[in-house]
Amino acid sequence: MQPGVTPGAVLELHAAKANNGTTPGINSPLTTTWTDTSGNNNNGTLTNFGTQTPWGGTGTTADPYKLSFDGTNDYVGLPFVNLTPSKMFSVELWFEPATTTGIHYVWVERTGSFHNASLRFDGTPGTTLYALLAGIQASKANVGGTGLHQVIMTCDGSTLRLYVDSGTPSATSVSAVGVLPTPTMHYLGSWSGSVQFMQGSTELLRLYPFTLTAAQIQQNYNAGLNW
């Protein structure tokens, strides 16, 4: 069974297992590959992190292993994962949000210049997170400030929902969007790899080709990052 709590993720990037899927990310030499622990070989590629030390944390509950983004040009390129033609998918992120104002894209799925789906912070740092589908703001939730949070976006074919720290979902109908184009690219920490970069850090990213249930979301939250 694939690692983690809920089986079936098609991509799973865990900072505690970033180096060949067994140990935390390392800085010397700089790790440029973030190993996918789902078993699907959908490895992330660290871009523009340069000689800085992006991997941090001590592996404790209070200070988990993480990948830090400078908000200037850092991002992780992700391979093609076909999530949205049926509009049934889930994106799970554990991260510490931006500490500066502005637009910070956390995760993006695109088809060329078409905006399939994304998660982003706008305006005041660490407060309001927006989920967008087809470039339309479909849902938003209050994250409750900076620090480590679990955020899950689900789509069941008609409704996009945002869960923050396994709480009550924020939901808005997106049934009018129709069938989305087949995605060709994903980014973690940037809108396109060239604009609107995230400042903050990411501990875990999972992509699922189905809609997580409330029970699964709660189970993943209870398990945290320690598996």
For 32-59, the pLDDT digits (tens) are 899 999 999 999 999 998 767 789 999 9
All domains of the chain, ordered by start, with CATH? 60-223 (2.60.120.200)
pLDDT number for residue 30: 75
Instruction: Answer yes or no: is pLDDT of 2 > 60.
Output: no
- Count of beta carbons in the 10 Å neighbourhood of residue 62: 7
Structure tokens at 206: 């999972």
Instruction: Answer yes or no: is pLDDT of 85 > 80.
Output: no
For 180-207, the pLDDT digits (tens) are 777 788 999 999 888 888 888 999 999 9
**Rounded CA separation 116/134 (Å):** 5
pLDDT number for residue 177: 63
**Rounded CA separation 108/115 (Å):** 8
Can you name the residues that pair with 149 across neighbouring β-strands?
95
Task: Name the pLDDT band for 1 (thresholds 50, 70, 90).
Answer: very low
Which pTM was predicted? Answer: 0.92
Q: Would you say how long the chain is, in residues?
A: 227
pLDDT number for residue 141: 80
**Averaged pLDDT score across all residues of the chain:** 85
Instruction: Answer yes or no: is pLDDT of 174 > 80.
Output: no
- Higher pLDDT residue, 154 or 98? 154
Structure tokens at 70: 């400078």
pLDDT number for residue 23: 93
State the Cα angle at 173 between 195 and 84, rounded to 5°. Answer: 55
Kindly state the average pLDDT of the residues 123-128: 65
**Rounded CA separation 148/60 (Å):** 12
- Of 21, 53, 50, 24, nearest to 38 by C-alpha is 21
**Rounded CA separation 81/109 (Å):** 9
Q: Do the Cβ atoms of 34 and 18 come closer than 8 Å?
A: yes
pLDDT number for residue 178: 65
For 11-32, the pLDDT digits (tens) are 999 999 999 999 999 887 777 8
- Higher pLDDT residue, 155 or 226? 155
